[in-house]
């Protein structure tokens, strides 16, 4: 665009915003344009047009939403910090700290180096959402920026087009939906669909155009009939026939495996009235006019969606056997449905729905801040936010009658964490509609859920396999990570103490200067971190022990260990396994070690010590890494139960499994897994995984099972 055309464009923008902004603020917007144009002078977009054209178009999109002057100025300058020498201080000086904060929140972390594009994307997205928490206008500018970029996507290479389109459909369109900005969300989805799946887009668009003519006549007839019946009841309403958007048609075809005709043969209408009372009266008229489809009515006025959206939804049996979707809402609700949180600025004259949308957006942002605090890194945070951007919801009641909104598929654990992290961390059971139910039970709208807690309870790693909310996932991961770190620190300290015994010293007797030098060499700040790394298997305890004692000390542990073994002398002091070490000592399924079995430990990075039976075939894999071997032995008393695998050959008779299960239970054991395979018409093999206290208890169990008439043979799995 030439300079003269740009002047006309900024004049046009200023003329439009005069309708709702005072003259002095309009001039500030013009001055921001001139400032931005000078800053970007000489820069062009990939399409060849001057760069300032992009910020100008972003401002136009926000002007359509009647955003305030600070947002429009920030839109004009949103790339200045990132792409020009001008810094944040200069923007504060020229346009104030609020504008500068929005611009800074939109600037990417270009000065840092990232290991991958995914990491860079995650870190920048994380930074932007944190800026959102301070000023929600950051995301409004970002959505407008993304919308204009999507409108001009054609100038980019195909691979980059697809990457940006995927990011738009995965992140930005769902955020627009979460914030209730329907107009931007729909356009982002259509543009993203066209760029990511161009052939599918063209096919569906062609089919829509083909059937449009026939549909229009039917839509007009239904619309006229609706209007006529509303007039008879003296109800004033604006009735419009809605056409399904291409992306929503595609999504429904994909999700429900439907053909185009099955999706598109739904007639949709929106009825806009003057008040909430009229909404419900209109619903009565609609249900008298056409029979409602059972189970397809939703009252989003009494219980609004998370983004503040309010409306009555009903599906009716229409003429010609075709279903009719009807949305009934007030003028105020319709404005918020299109503008979402932007309605907070667009309709400031005491608009309750607009304030509600803004309040709900703030609540969502508070939830994101909690996820941010729990997340381990940027990519984990981004993953949890994606999980949180859900389209469908269920409405659950607390025992006190309060309503909680959760994504479809949520469980009692998600419910507990949505109330408070401490409640989630300590939950052990739940009551759904006053009946005890498993924690993993998916919740349904209208249920009352009560969480049962116990002192000392803690999150189960298995919960991560069924929770669906970002907050639950992030909090569980954070708790387990901290728990593992604490357990690793205690285990690492024990391991180091054991190794230092070979040098006739102990941790509290080490030379402080030597300790400080070793920590500096390891690039660690304190001993607790060193203990943790030893416990997690990141640093072998023998090498750490050697580094912590003087060079003149006795010879290293491994040499001492080998010499003792070769000479038949004193064996090194083993690490005692009590079964209370937690997540940093694990017992693999390859050999299922039990107390009483001869065992060996192996340090594995990030997992701590893995305990194997000495006869386990996997031990051979470790022969080339003797520095990672750990001498271990069972404690005299082990405070837990362990899994063990049995193989049973049985006679095929009715009730054989029930008899075996009863015998296992009588011996105080528990069955974890069962697998049956038929060997012949007369015999089958049963694979059982049971939990027992030790090797002796397992021997007692095997003896009892072997005595059953239907059992031909039973043996423990070989190592």
The string of DSSP codes covering 641-702 is -EEEEEEEEEE--TTHHHHHHHHHHHTT-EEEEEEEEE-SSSEEEEEEEEEESSHHHHHHHH
Read off the pLDDT of residues 654-713 as tens digits, 9 standing for 90 and up: 889 889 999 998 998 888 888 888 778 888 999 999 999 999 999 999 999 999 999 999
Catalytic annotation present for 82 = yes
**Token digits of residue 356:** 């509600």
The string of DSSP codes covering 154-213 is GGS-HHHHHHHHHHIIIIIHHHHHHTT-HHHHHHHHHHHHHHHSHHHHHHHHHHHHHHHH
Average the pLDDT over 10-14 and give the result: 86
Read off the pLDDT of residues 139-153 as tens digits, 9 standing for 90 and up: 888 889 999 999 988
Res 234 pLDDT > 60: yes
Residue 603: Cβ within 10 Å count: 23
The pLDDT of residue 285: 93
Catalytic annotation present for 68 = no
* Domains of the chain, residue spans: 3-151, 210-355, 478-634, 642-716
Identify the H or E element spanning 298: strand 298-299
Tokens 């285990």, residue located: 491
Active-site choice (82, 187, 351, 631): 82
Q: Which residue has the higher pLDDT, 452 or 132?
A: 452
- Options 1.10.3210.10, 3.30.930.10, 3.65.10.10, 3.90.1720.10; CATH of 3-151: 1.10.3210.10
Q: Which residue has the higher pLDDT, 54 or 556?
A: 54
Going by DSSP bridges, is the β-strand pair 267-273/323-330 parallel, antiparallel, or unpaired?
A: parallel
CB 544 within 8 A of CB 530: yes
Confidence of residue 412 (pLDDT cuts 50, 70, 90): very high
Res 385 pLDDT > 70: no
Average the pLDDT over 107-129 and give the result: 56
**Token digits of residue 208:** 């829509």
Read off the pLDDT of residues 563-601 as tens digits, 9 standing for 90 and up: 444 444 455 568 888 887 777 888 988 899 999 999 998
The answer to whether the 3-151 and 642-716 domains have the same CATH topology is no
Confidence of residue 354 (pLDDT cuts 50, 70, 90): low
The pLDDT of residue 65: 82
The pLDDT of residue 566: 47
Q: State the Cα–Cα distance between residues 67 and 60, nearest whole angstrom.
A: 10
Res 1 pLDDT > 50: no
Cα(first)–Cα(last) distance of the chain, in Å? Answer: 76
The pLDDT of residue 549: 83
Average the pLDDT over 16-38 and give the result: 89
| Percent of the chain at pLDDT exceeding 70 | 83
Question: 3-state SS of the chain: helix, strand, coil percent to 5?
Answer: 55, 15, 30
Confidence of residue 72 (pLDDT cuts 50, 70, 90): very high
Q: Is 324 exposed, middle or buried (0-12, 13-18, 19+ CB in 10 A)?
A: buried
Return mean pLDDT, the chain: 81
Average the pLDDT over 146-170 and give the result: 88
**Which of 30-34, 482-486, 508-512, 700-704 has the least mean pLDDT?**
482-486
Q: State the Cα–Cα distance between residues 677 and 649, nearest whole angstrom.
A: 10
Read off the pLDDT of residues 639-657 as tens digits, 9 standing for 90 and up: 788 999 999 999 988 889 8
Confidence of residue 555 (pLDDT cuts 50, 70, 90): very low
Confidence of residue 10 (pLDDT cuts 50, 70, 90): confident
Res 201 pLDDT > 70: yes
Read off the pLDDT of residues 413-431 as tens digits, 9 standing for 90 and up: 999 998 988 899 989 888 9
Largest Cα–Cα separation, the chain: 107
Q: What is the DSSP letter of 633?
A: E
Confidence of residue 451 (pLDDT cuts 50, 70, 90): very high
**Token digits of residue 155:** 């100038």
Res 318 pLDDT > 60: yes
Residue 635: Cβ within 10 Å count: 12
Q: Point out which residues pair with 267 in neighbouring strands.
A: 324
**Token digits of residue 324:** 């009719």
3-state secondary structure of 375: coil
Read off the pLDDT of residues 319-329 as tens digits, 9 standing for 90 and up: 766 788 899 99
The pLDDT of residue 120: 60
Read off the pLDDT of residues 241-266 as tens digits, 9 standing for 90 and up: 877 788 888 888 887 777 777 765 56
Q: Point out which residues pair with 448 in neighbouring strands.
A: 397
Average the pLDDT over 38-44 and give the result: 86
The pLDDT of residue 563: 47
Class assignment of domain 642-716?
alpha beta
Average the pLDDT over 463-467 and give the result: 85
Q: State the Cα–Cα distance between residues 434 and 451, nearest whole angstrom.
A: 10
Q: State the Cα–Cα distance between residues 574 and 585, nearest whole angstrom.
A: 15
- Options 3.30.460.10, 3.20.20.20, 3.40.50.880, 3.40.50.800; CATH of 210-355: 3.30.460.10
Angle 461-466-470 from CA coordinates, rounded to 5°:
85
**Token digits of residue 341:** 């949180």
Res 623 pLDDT > 80: no
Res 350 pLDDT > 60: no
**Token digits of residue 586:** 């694990």
Residues 6 or more apart in contact with residue 101 via CB below 8 angstroms: 131, 134, 135
CB 438 within 8 A of CB 465: no
Average the pLDDT over 602-627 and give the result: 82
Q: Which residue has the higher pLDDT, 487 or 216?
A: 487
Res 267 pLDDT > 90: no
CA 287 from centre of chain: 40
The pLDDT of residue 109: 43
Q: State the Cα–Cα distance between residues 284 and 281, nearest whole angstrom.
A: 5
Res 562 pLDDT > 50: no
Q: Is 106 exposed, middle or buried (0-12, 13-18, 19+ CB in 10 A)?
A: buried
Res 126 pLDDT > 60: yes
Average the pLDDT over 203-211 and give the result: 82
The pLDDT of residue 627: 72
Confidence of residue 630 (pLDDT cuts 50, 70, 90): confident
Active-site choice (83, 119, 207, 633): 83
The pLDDT of residue 444: 85
- Where helices occur in 77-136 by DSSP H, the ranges are 80-83, 88-95, 97-106, 117-134
């Amino acid at each position: 665009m030439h300079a003269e055309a740009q002047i006309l464009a900024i004049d046009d923008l200023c003329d439009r915003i005069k309708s709702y902004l005072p003259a002095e603020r309009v001039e500030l917007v013009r001055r921001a344009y001139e400032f931005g144009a000078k800053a970007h002078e000489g820069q062009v977009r990939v399409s060849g047009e001057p760069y300032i054209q992009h910020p100008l178009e972003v401002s136009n999109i926000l002007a359509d939403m009647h955003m305030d002057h600070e947002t429009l100025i920030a839109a004009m300058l949103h790339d200045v910090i990132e792409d020009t020498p001008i810094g944040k201080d200069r923007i504060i000086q020229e346009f104030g700290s609020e504008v500068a904060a929005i611009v800074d929140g939109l600037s990417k972390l270009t000065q840092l180096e990232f290991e991958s594009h995914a990491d860079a994307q995650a870190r920048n997205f994380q930074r932007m959402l944190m800026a959102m928490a301070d000023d929600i206008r950051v995301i409004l500018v970002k959505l407008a920026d993304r919308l204009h970029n999507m409108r001009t996507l054609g100038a980019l290479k195909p691979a980059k087009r697809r990457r940006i389109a995927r990011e738009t459909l995965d992140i930005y369109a769902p955020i627009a939906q979460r914030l209730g900005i329907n107009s931007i969300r729909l356009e982002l989805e259509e543009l993203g669909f066209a760029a990511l799946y161009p052939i599918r887009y063209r096919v569906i668009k062609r089919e829509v155009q083909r059937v449009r003519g026939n549909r229009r006549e039917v839509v007009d007839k239904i619309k006229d009939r609706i209007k006529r019946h509303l007039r008879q009841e003296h109800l004033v309403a604006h009735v419009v026939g809605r056409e399904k958007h291409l992306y929503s048609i595609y999504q429904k075809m994909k999700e429900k495996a439907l053909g185009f005709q099955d999706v598109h043969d739904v007639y949709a209408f929106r009825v806009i009235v003057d008040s909430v009372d009229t909404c419900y009266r209109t619903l009565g008229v609609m249900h008298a006019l056409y029979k409602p489809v059972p189970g397809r009515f939703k009252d989003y006025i009494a219980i609004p969606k998370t983004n503040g959206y309010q409306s009555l939804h009903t599906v009716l049996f229409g003429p010609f056997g075709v279903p009719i979707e009807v949305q009934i809402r007030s003028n105020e609700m319709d404005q918020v449905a299109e503008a979402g949180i932007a309605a907070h600025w667009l309709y400031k004259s005491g608009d309750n729905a607009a304030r509600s949308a803004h309040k709900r957006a703030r609540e969502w942002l508070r939830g994101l801040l909690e996820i941010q605090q729990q997340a381990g890194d940027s990519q984990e945070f981004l993953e949890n936010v994606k999980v949180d951007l859900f389209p469908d919801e269920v409405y659950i009641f607390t025992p006190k009658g309060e309503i909680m909104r959760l994504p479809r598929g949520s469980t009692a654990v998600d419910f507990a964490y949505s109330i408070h992290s401490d409640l989630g961390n300590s939950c052990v059971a739940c009551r759904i509609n006053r009946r005890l139910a498993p924690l993993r039970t998916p919740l349904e709208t209208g249920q009352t859920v009560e969480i049962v807690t116990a002192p000392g309870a803690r999150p189960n790693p298995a919960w991560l396999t069924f929770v669906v909310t970002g907050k639950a996932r992030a909090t569980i991961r954070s708790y387990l990570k901290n728990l593992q770190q604490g357990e690793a620190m205690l285990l690492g300290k024990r391991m180091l103490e054991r190794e230092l015994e070979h040098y006739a010293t102990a941790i509290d007797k080490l030379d402080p200067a030597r300790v400080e030098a070793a920590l500096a060499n390891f690039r660690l700040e304190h001993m607790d971190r060193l203990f943790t790394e030893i416990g997690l298997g990141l640093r072998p305890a023998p090498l750490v022990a050697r580094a912590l004692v003087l060079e003149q000390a006795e010879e290293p542990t491994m040499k001492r260990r080998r010499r003792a073994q070769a000479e038949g002398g004193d064996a090194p002091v083993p690490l005692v396994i009590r079964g209370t070490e937690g997540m940093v000592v694990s017992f693999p399924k390859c050999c299922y070690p039990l107390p009483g079995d001869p065992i060996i430990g192996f340090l594995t990075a990030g997992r701590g010590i893995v305990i194997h039976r000495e006869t386990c075939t996997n031990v051979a894999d470790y022969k080339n890494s003797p520095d990672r071997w750990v001498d271990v032995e069972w404690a005299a008393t082990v405070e837990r139960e362990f899994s063990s695998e049995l193989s049973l050959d049985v006679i095929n008779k009715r009730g054989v499994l029930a008899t075996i299960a009863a015998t296992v239970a009588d011996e105080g054991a528990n069955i974890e897994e069962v697998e049956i395979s038929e060997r012949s018409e007369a015999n089958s093999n049963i694979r059982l995984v049971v939990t027992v206290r030790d090797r002796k208890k397992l021997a007692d169990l095997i003896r009892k099972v072997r005595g059953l008439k239907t059992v031909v043979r039973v043996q423990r799995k070989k190592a």
